[in-house]
């Protein structure tokens, strides 16, 4: 379950959060940990009450209707090109920094990572479950080393002024940090792996681990002064390890981001096929190779826009976070109908309310999921008029939900779940 939430986004998020809120970014991390408690337990309870029910898309379709099911699929599918590009760029930035290359080289490395990942997926080479566990272990090792290495450099003076951008800065930091907290929906898939209420215990332990990891990183990255660096983990390690920190974090970042984007692309291609077979995407892409081609084209378009503008990691991660937060909101809303009255439903209501608040803090980036929804429903309406086909029909939600779960690494996401790059 830890792999569903913890992802390579941690390579860059501490810097982006501190850039938005200064030392007050610690409050943003803490606030999202509090928000995560009812969300995590809501999805765990859904897994217990509906052990064979699938994931968020299925719950949304069952409790709310096919339109909600379609929205979840579209938001996941559209978030992958944006989030995957952000993940590749993060790997490129760390690698370029490790070898003293300029910023343009980081973009070249990012596109090389994406190209290799697409070739690997076209050849059928996927990241196995064991390899994903290894990736999470590697990330934990990097984070733990960075925390310990930077402790001697932590100073109280670096926490002043604590709120240089006011509470608005903290809210802005929440908007980008959402990326580090999506993935709790993975708990709804794990009921078969945990007998009885052990799923709730596992959820509680995961929350405890995430709390320790995230707050430790948040405190040390600010206290050591590493938050000002675009490669904060390298800066944290450098305080004790010196120049040796650069190749270590550079190579680790390259491996982590490649594993994440490979998983994202694999899951998203399956999701695209499943949605196309149900006429929620054009039926022409209902094959793995065509779905991969569409994803490659989408990433190329997003990448071209990012290069021309230019657009950095911050807006890419905020746009992805807005889409995935919208998915969590729909899932929590479905839970308010599917869970029985009492403590379970109260937990779901709290999760729904707090997720809605995080959506508000996404600000103008809410336009991204709104635009995706508008485009999807408009395309469906035009298609229905042309074919005069019935609007309702049997939905093979189970097969599509398998793809949705694979797409979210809020293991690379995500998908992380892609949990996330």
Over the stretch 68-106, which tens digit does the pLDDT of each residue have? 999 999 999 999 999 999 999 999 999 999 888 887 899
Structure tokens at 200: 């709730």
Tell me the whole-structure pTM to 2 decimals: 0.87
Measured in residues, the chain has a length of: 421
Rounded-to-integer distance, Cα 148 and Cα 158, Å: 18
Rounded-to-integer distance, Cα 416 and Cα 405, Å: 9
Spatial CA neighbour of 59 closest among 419, 351, 263, 286: 351
SS3 418: coil
Rounded-to-integer distance, Cα 356 and Cα 351, Å: 8
User: How distant is the alpha carbon of residue 308 from its chain centre?
Assistant: 25
Burial 288-307 (b: 16+ CB within 10 A, else e): bebbbbbbbebbeebbeebe
pLDDT in tens, the chain (421 residues): 676 788 888 999 999 999 999 999 999 999 999 999 999 999 989 888 887 656 788 889 889 998 999 999 999 999 999 999 999 999 999 999 988 888 789 989 999 999 999 998 888 766 666 777 888 888 899 999 999 999 999 999 999 999 999 999 999 999 999 999 888 877 666 665 666 678 888 889 999 999 999 999 999 999 999 999 999 999 999 888 888 888 889 999 998 898 888 888 888 888 889 888 888 888 888 888 899 999 999 999 999 888 887 788 999 999 999 999 999 999 999 999 999 999 999 999 999 999 999 999 999 999 999 999 999 999 888 877 776 544 444 444 444 444 444 443 333 333 333 344 4
Task: Give how far Cα 235 sits from Cα of 11, 27, 172, 220, 342, Å.
Answer: 11, 22, 24, 11, 48
pLDDT at 243: 82
Partners of residue 409 on adjacent β-strands: 414
Rounded-to-integer distance, Cα 118 and Cα 148, Å: 36
pLDDT at 184: 83
Given CA atoms 268, 269, 270, 272 in this order, what sign does their dihedral have? positive
What letter would DSSP give residue 162?
S
The 8 Å CB, 24+ separation contacts for 300-309 are: 301/81, 302/81, 302/82, 302/85, 303/85, 303/111, 303/114, 306/85, 306/89, 307/107
pLDDT at 407: 43
SS3 163: coil
- The H or E element containing residue 184 is none
Structure tokens at 52: 């064979």
Q: CB of 15 within 8 A of CB of 157?
A: no
Q: CB of 176 within 8 A of CB of 318?
A: yes
**Burial of residue 161, with CB atoms counted within 10 A of its CB: 0-12 exposed, 13-18 middle, 19 or more buried:** exposed
Given CA atoms 205, 211, 217, 219 in this order, what sign does their dihedral have? negative
Structure tokens at 1: 């379950």
| Straight-line distance from the first to the last Cα atom of the chain, in angstroms, rounded to the nearest whole number | 16
Rounded-to-integer distance, Cα 359 and Cα 326, Å: 7
pLDDT at 182: 86
**Burial of residue 244, with CB atoms counted within 10 A of its CB: 0-12 exposed, 13-18 middle, 19 or more buried:** exposed
CATH number of 2-384+394-407: 1.20.1740.10
Count the alpha carbons within 13 Å of 84 in the hemisphere toward its beta carbon. 38
Residue showing tokens 């998983």: 263
pLDDT at 329: 95
């Amino acid at each position: 379950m830890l792999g569903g939430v913890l992802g390579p986004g941690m390579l860059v998020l501490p810097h982006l959060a501190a850039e938005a809120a200064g030392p007050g970014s610690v409050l943003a991390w803490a606030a999202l940990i509090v928000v995560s408690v009812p969300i995590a337990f809501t999805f765990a309870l859904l897994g217990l009450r509906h052990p064979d029910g699938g994931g968020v898309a299925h719950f949304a379709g069952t409790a709310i209707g096919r339109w909600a099911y379609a929205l979840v699929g579209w938001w996941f599918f559209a978030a992958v090109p944006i989030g995957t590009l952000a993940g590749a760029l993060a790997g490129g930035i760390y690698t370029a920094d490790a070898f003293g290359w300029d910023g343009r080289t980081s973009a070249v490395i990012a596109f090389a990572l994406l190209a290799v990942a697409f070739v690997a997926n076209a050849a059928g080479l996927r990241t196995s479950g064991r390899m994903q566990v290894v990736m999470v272990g590697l990330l934990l090792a990097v984070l733990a080393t960075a925390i310990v290495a930077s402790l001697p450099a932590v100073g109280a003076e670096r926490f002043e002024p604590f709120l240089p951008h006011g509470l608005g800065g903290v809210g802005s930091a929440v908007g980008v940090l959402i990326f580090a907290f999506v993935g709790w929906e993975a708990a709804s898939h794990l009921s078969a792996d945990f007998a009885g209420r052990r799923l709730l215990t596992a959820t509680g332990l995961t929350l405890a681990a995430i709390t320790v990891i995230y707050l430790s990183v948040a405190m040390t990255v600010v206290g050591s002064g590493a938050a000002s660096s675009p490669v904060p983990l390298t800066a944290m390690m450098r305080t004790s390890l010196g120049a040796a920190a650069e190749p270590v974090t550079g190579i680790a970042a390259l491996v982590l981001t490649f594993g994440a984007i490979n998983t994202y692309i694999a899951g998203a291609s399956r999701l695209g096929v499943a949605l196309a077979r149900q006429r929620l995407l054009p039926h022409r892409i209902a094959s793995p190779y065509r779905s991969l081609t569409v994803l490659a084209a989408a990433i190329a378009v997003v990448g071209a826009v990012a290069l021309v503008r230019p657009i950095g990691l911050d807006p890419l991660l905020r746009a992805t976070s807005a889409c995935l937060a919208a998915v969590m909101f729909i899932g929590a809303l479905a839970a308010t109908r599917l869970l029985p009255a009492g403590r379970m439903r109260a937990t779901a209501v709290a999760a729904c309310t707090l997720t809605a608040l995080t959506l508000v803090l996404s600000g103008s980036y809410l336009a991204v999921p709104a635009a995706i929804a508008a485009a999807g429903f408009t395309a469906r309406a035009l298609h229905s008029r042309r074919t005069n086909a019935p609007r309702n029909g049997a939905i093979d939600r189970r097969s599509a939900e398998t793809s949705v779960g694979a797409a979210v690494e809020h293991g690379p996401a995500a998908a992380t779940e892609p949990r996330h790059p």
